[in-house]
Structure 1
Amino acid sequence: MAMEQITVKGMRCQHCVKSVTQALEALDGIGKVKVDLESGVVMYETGKPVDKATVRKAITDVGFEVVNT
């Protein structure tokens, strides 16, 4: 499994963390998700290639902004 990292802007609470985590875990190929609320860093494991645009869309669909990928 590969580990990927992105930075997300706008997360302020544990509900935000849960929303992002669930959005990413629902994507095919993504396993464990770890969110650092303070820094906005989201790390996730991929079992197969996952398009960065798909990850970005999943996060923006739940109301957050991807700062970088």
Structure 2
Amino acid sequence: MAEQTYTVSGMSCRHCAASITEEVVEVSGVIEVDVDVPAGRVTVRGESVDDAAVRAAIVEAGFEVTGATSALAV
């Protein structure tokens, strides 16, 4: 399973986290979404997840992706 962590600006509350989660879970291949509002991070786990689609989902939720890192989750 792959893991991608996005740095996201503009999040301030649980509603922000819920909005992002709602959009990102709809992306094909996404299995899990973890939003850390204080750290400004969104971690996505899944199989064959389209990076551009995740970024678009975050933008659709009303936030800006300012960076990303990827890793292989075990």
Report the TM-score, using the length of structure 1 for normalisation.
0.90
1:32 paired residue number = 32
CA deviation vs aligned residue, 1:4-59 (integer Å, no higher than 9, x gap): 11111001110000010111111110011111110111111112x22211111111
1:61 paired residue number = 60
RMSD over aligned Cα atoms: 0.9
Determine helix, strand or coil for the equivalent of 2:57. helix
Determine helix, strand or coil for the equivalent of 1:27. coil
Runs of 4+ in 1 over 3 A off after TM superposition: none
Q: Distance in 1 between matches of 2:49 and 2:23?
A: 14
Consecutive unaligned residues in structure 1, runs of 5 or more? none
| Count of residues in Structure 1 that have an aligned counterpart in Structure 2 | 68
Q: Distance in 1 between matches of 2:50 and 2:2?
A: 13
Identity among equivalent positions (%) equals 41
Higher strand share: 2
